[in-house]
Amino acid sequence: IDELKDVVTIKIKSQVLFMTSLPISAHLPMNAEKEFILQPEQLPSLVNPIEDKLGSDTSLQPNVNIVLYIPSRHQSLLRISDSEGKALPSNAFLLPQWGGFMIYNPPYLPENSSLPYTLHIDMSSVMNVFLSQFRLLLGLLNVGDLNNESFLELTGPIIREWEKDFLLRKNVQEQISSSMSSLSSLSHLLRKIRNIVIHDDIGQKVQFALSSTKESLQLLHHGYLKEGYKAAQVAFIDSDEAFYDPSLLRLLYFPEDQKYAIYIPLFLPISIPVLMSLTYLWKFWNELKHKSKHD
């Protein structure tokens, strides 16, 4: 986590849920080792029942869920298969933008075993799977063979320096693109709603977003990656706050063409007597002109 502090802010929360069974059919197919097999099309049904129990709705920030599920004795041994029907060695699967899910089977217990049974989890193998899933969720791929050339695997940090640079460049690109999109949408809004009022604070945020975007691009051009990333963050925040300012959102839900539907019922009852009075005055004026000619 400390290695990624320049890229993203991560807060970790953990919870343990007891007696949480999943809707796994009792008629699952079994392989030669008498293991229950989960097909790929059945995997989404494992996530939906526990999603409301994970506590992810308590935060407004994006959440990544890493779930370790220990099936009951009646559901063990539970294996996940690939599209070809082969059991996955990791016994885990990944859902993009949601997180990872791993099934950890307890050892076989005879029917006459004394309960409760103390289960010792091999956290080393579990964390290896979770770290691999975490890398994939960040957009980092595992390094494979390079044209059958031999190479030495780097031990130590799970995130390498060049991978952090890749994440910084990726985030800078996304934030600058989002900032320019927000400013372009705001410009389109100003052209569409001509009587819109831009407050001084919104104008300052727009100016700061533009200057920070230019500063970020200049810093990246000269190779200052971290400084350019921080400037891109400022541009993203200012442009987002300017576009989603409450004073502008009120105008989005009150467009120009709806003003007629609001004001016509108010002024129509008043305008009818006025028009009738004008008609009466017009007739009276014509009669006066008629009389003056005859005289």
Domains of the chain by residue range:
2-107+121-142, 161-253, 258-294
CATH number of 161-253: 1.20.1270
Kindly state the percentage of the chain with pLDDT values over 70.
80
Band the pLDDT of 214: cuts 50, 70, 90: very high
Own/partner pairs for 30-38, CB < 8 Å, 24+ apart? 31/79, 31/87, 33/77, 34/77, 35/77, 35/78, 35/79, 35/87, 36/75, 36/76, 36/77, 36/78, 36/79, 37/79, 37/80, 37/81, 37/85, 37/87, 38/78, 38/79, 38/80, 38/81, 38/103
pTM score, whole prediction: 0.66
**Separation CA 289–CA 285 (nearest Å):** 6
- 244-270: per-residue pLDDT in tens? 888 776 655 555 566 666 667 777 777
Rounded to a whole number of angstroms, the distance between the first and last alpha carbons of the chain is 103
- Taking alpha carbons only, the member of 113, 102, 88 closest to residue 35 is 88
The beta strand positions in the chain, using DSSP E, are 36-38, 65-69, 78-80, 92-95, 99-103
Q: Are 149 and 82 in contact (CB under 8 A)?
A: no
In this structure, of 51-60, 109-118, 133-142, 184-193, the range with the lowest mean pLDDT score is 51-60
Averaged pLDDT, 237-249:
83
- 284-294: per-residue pLDDT in tens? 787 777 766 66
- 138-185: per-residue pLDDT in tens? 888 765 545 555 656 666 556 788 888 888 999 999 999 999 999 998
Q: Is the pLDDT of residue 33 over 70?
A: no
| Biggest alpha carbon–alpha carbon distance for the chain | 128
Radius of gyration of the chain (CA): 33
Q: Are 74 and 86 in contact (CB under 8 A)?
A: no
